[in-house]
Amino acid sequence: MNGVEIRGLCKSYGKIKAVDGLDLTVGSGQVFGLLGPNGSGKTTTIKLLLGLIKPDSGDALVLGRSISKGIELERVGYMPQETALYEELTVHENLKLFGGIFGMKKRALEEREEEVLRIVDLKGRRDSLLSELSGGQRHRISLAVALLHSPDILFLDEPTVGVDPPLRVSFWKTFHDLKRKGVTIIMTTHYLDEARKCDNIGLMRSGKLISKGSPGRIMKDTGTDNLEDAFLKLASARSPGVIA
Amino acid sequence: MKGLRFLMVTKKIFWNFRHDKRSLALMLLAPILSMMVFGIAFSGDMEDVKVVIVNLDQGYRTPVFNQSVKISQSVISNMDRDVLDISYSSSIEDGLKGVEDGTYYSLIIFPENFTMNIMAYKSAMASGNVTAIMGTTEHSTVSIRSDQAEVSVVSEVNRLVMQAIAETMEQGGFDVPIDVDASDPVYGEGATFIDMFIPGIMGFTIFLLTTTLSLITFVGERTQGTLYRLMATPITEGEIILGYALAFSILGMAQVALLIAIAVLVFDVMVVGNLLLTFLIGSMLGMVSVSLGILLSSLARRESQAIQFYPLIVMPTFLLAGIFWPLESIPAYLRPLSYGIPVTYAIKGLRSVMVRGWGVAEIWPQLLALTLFATAFLLGAVLTLKMERRRA
């Protein structure tokens, strides 16, 4: 079973087509990167897949379940772009809240809490209020919450923004460890250098997928040696003279 | 120019209004609404105060013309019908039952010898018979048995009865003292304005704090993105609302407990009825208020917009829910609005339990109204969350 299968997905806000006829398949246990400039439709795509917003047309399957009928959210981990956690609660309370919602038992929750805090390197801040943490640290806690219930598929919206380089390396190690365990990871990023670490990527522009495939394949097809040049070449080929 | 840089700030505020017409509309409409509601509520006289009269007066037959005269009838016809909504009963027992079950505020009793004694007093006065004068005073008394839970209504009834007696005496050219005995109320013996006022302020405080807090908190859930994060978990919209409702209904009970403790210890307020019932009303009002707060939060995109709902929540409740004055003193055409405010029922319920000592058998209409409000608002709140997905 594929992690995600998207067929003709469309979503508009007024006259703006945020997602415009998206077709995409992400195999199970893949790390897939959705790339593109701000406003290209990456976040809207993730929200559509999670059922947070309803599509105007088209459908998608997440772990075999249609988004129109409701996906299995118990098997899904989501890290939004903004921290989206309770600043007036401690790190531990935030983790306990979301663990409880996912039906985790006390013992399992305690073990996983320690594990995810180790992954994000914030074990010492368990009892700190979220509001006392720096922006980067909050972002790391947000990832910890997404990983807490050991989901089968992870949607990560800009997971490495505000994360310093050494920790970013550690994050990528975690993502590849999860991939080895069969977890499908779909992430958005506009760090094109980072996208090279994905198994496959999709380049988005103005709501459309302008290219998809492995990073090496895309660079080869465009005759470039980095993804930034590949993206610029693809974008100008689609709409000459206009690069978002 | 450097000195005029502040104008940019002013312009920025008006630019903001251009994009946020709702704020501008509220800034302009809320004061008008407040003034209208205040003006109308304060200008109203008391109306439709239901009383029942038991007239046992046998009258007096004039010796010369053999005509029957009942002075009680003149007193009754002089009672202000704009304020009093008068019914009649043939027995004191039936009249009392009407007050006990809340149909009437007061039972007004004219004794058997009402006219006879006035006439006797008059003739005794004319003849200077002191013994006869002393003997009649006991019978020239109109008794009023009231539900003193609404102190201001009862004061008005007493005042109008006395005024009707005075007018009748003046019209008949009598100079006879008649007592009005209101010393034996049906409910609320010894009740003062504070006893009526405290249940009102309890209901208002719970409603105001809970609605405001849940409104601001829920707008925060939206602006911080936590609501969407919750929606990406297995928790349903109904469970989110239920979680909030439960928390605030527990808080409602705690608020009632605290307020009653202060009311009793500091203000020496009477609590005749079952305390558990007051907690129940408090928790139900908490539930109604939290769901209203969540409903309103769907209309605000930011905390600053949410605060603009404050006058809309506060003013109508403050003026129309019967906190300070009874519903009867609110103009009749505004009263349907009072019945559309959930706090009205909570206050009536709290007052009935605390001052009248009523139980579920008597306050079920208020409990039912609060249940209906809670159900409607909770379902509405769930619906707004479900619509959030379509709107986003």
- Inspect the interface and report whether the beta carbons of A73 and B224 lie closer than 8 Å: no
Select from B224, B235, B390 the Cβ nearest to the Cβ of A54.
Answer: B390
Query: How far does A148 lie from chain B, in Å, by closest CA?
Result: 12
| Pair (A103, A177) in one structural domain | yes
- The pLDDT assigned to B76 comes to 94
Instruction: Please tell me whether residues A5 and A66 are part of one structural domain.
Output: yes
Q: How far is B282 from chain A (nearest CA, A)?
A: 27
Q: Where are the domains of chain B?
A: 49-181, 192-391
Lowest-confidence range among A120-129, A186-195, B280-289?
Answer: A186-195
Kindly determine whether residue A84 and residue B226, on different chains, have CB atoms separated by under 8 Å: yes
Measured on CA atoms in the order B359, B361, B366, B367, is the torsion positive or negative? Answer: positive
A77 and A166 in a single domain? The answer is yes
- In contact, A195 and A215? CB cutoff 8 Å: yes
Tell me which chain A residue has its CA closest to the CA of residue B390: A54
A111 and A28, same domain (yes or no): no
Asked if residue A87 and residue A49 are part of one domain, the reply reads no
Interchain pair A52, B225: CB under 8 A: no
Residue A199 lies in a domain: no
Average pLDDT value for residue range A51-66: 95
Percent of the residues in chain A that have a pLDDT greater than 90, as a whole number: 73
Inspect the interface and report whether the beta carbons of B229 and A84 lie closer than 8 Å: yes
Is A171 within 8 Å of chain B by CB? no
Is A78 found in the same domain as A65?
A: no
| Residue A241: predicted pLDDT | 35
Residue A239: is its pLDDT beyond 60? no
Tell whether A36 and A104 lie within a shared domain.
no
**What CATH class has B49-181?**
alpha beta
Asked if the C-beta of B247 comes within 8 angstroms of chain A's C-beta atoms, the answer is no
Nearest to A78 among B229, B235, B392 (CB): B229
Q: B228 touching A, CB under 8 A?
A: yes
If asked whether residues A17 and A107 sit together in one domain, one would say: no
pLDDT above 60 for A242: no
Give the model's confidence band at A85: pLDDT under 50 very low, under 70 low, under 90 confident, else very high. Answer: very high
Give B219 to chain A, closest Cα distance, Å: 13
| pLDDT given at position B132 | 60
Assess if residue A188 is contained within a domain.
Answer: no
**Cβ contacts of B243 on chain A, cutoff 8 Å:** none
- Cβ contact, residue pair A76, B232, below 8 Å: yes
- Residue A240 pLDDT > 50: no
How much is the pLDDT for A84? 94
Domain-embedded: residue A235: no
Task: Report residue A46 CA to chain centroid gap.
Answer: 7
Task: Report yes or no on A158 lying in a domain.
Answer: yes
Decide if A230 is inside a domain: no
Shortest CA distance from A100: residue in chain B: B235
User: Who's near A45: CB < 8 A, 6+ residues apart?
Assistant: A6, A9, A19, A22, A34, A188, A204
Same domain, A61 and A3: yes
In a domain, A228, yes or no: no
pLDDT of residue B212: 86
Which of A71, A87, A103 is the last residue in one of the domains? A71
Same domain, A81 and A62: no
Confidence at residue B16, expressed as pLDDT on a 0 to 100 scale: 67
CATH code, A127: 3.40.50.300
DSSP assignment string, A68-96: TT---GGGEEEE-SS--S-TTSBHHHHHH
**pLDDT surpasses 80 at A128:** yes
Q: Of the ranges A46-55, A228-237, B70-79, which one carries the lowest mean pLDDT score?
A: A228-237
| 3-state DSSP assignment of residue B55 | strand
Provide ipTM, 2 decimals.
Answer: 0.91
pLDDT at B183: 82
Burial category of A85 from C-beta neighbours within 10 Å (exposed 0-12, middle 13-18, buried 19 and up): buried
Looking at the structure, tell me whether residues A160 and A88 fall in a common domain: yes
Q: Do the beta carbons of residue B153 and residue B104 sit within 8 Å?
A: no
Task: Kindly report the average pLDDT of chain A as a whole number.
Answer: 91
Number of domains, chain A:
2
Q: Among the three residues A53, A71, A89, which one is the final residue of a domain in this structure?
A: A71
Residue B386 touches chain A, beta carbons under 8 Å: no
**Cα separation of B274 and B140, whole Å?**
39
| B81 phi-psi bin (left φ>0, alpha ψ -120 to 50, beta other) | alpha
Nearest to A33 by CA among A212, A233, A177: A212
Residue B344, burial from CB neighbour count under 10 angstroms (0-12, 13-18, 19+): buried
pLDDT given for residue B27 in this prediction: 64
How much is the average pLDDT of A198-224?
92
pLDDT exceeds 50 at position A243: no
pLDDT tens per residue across all 392 residues of chain B: 556 667 777 766 667 677 777 767 766 676 566 556 655 655 556 788 999 999 999 888 877 777 788 899 999 999 999 889 999 999 999 999 999 988 999 999 999 888 888 888 877 777 776 666 565 545 578 999 998 888 788 888 999 999 999 899 888 887 777 888 888 888 877 777 788 888 888 898 889 888 888 888 889 888 889 999 999 999 988 898 888 888 888 888 888 888 888 888 887 888 889 989 999 999 899 989 988 998 988 888 788 888 888 888 888 888 888 888 778 777 788 888 899 999 999 999 999 999 889 999 999 999 999 999 999 999 999 998 888 766 55
pLDDT of A175 strictly over 90: yes
Please report the number of interchain residue pairs, chain A to chain B, with beta-carbon separation below 8 angstroms: 50
Smallest CA–CA separation between A89 and chain B, in Å? 12
Nearest to A143 by CA among A158, A131, A130: A158
pLDDT band at A91 (very low <50, low <70, confident <90, very high): very high
- The residue range of the domain holding A21 is 1-71
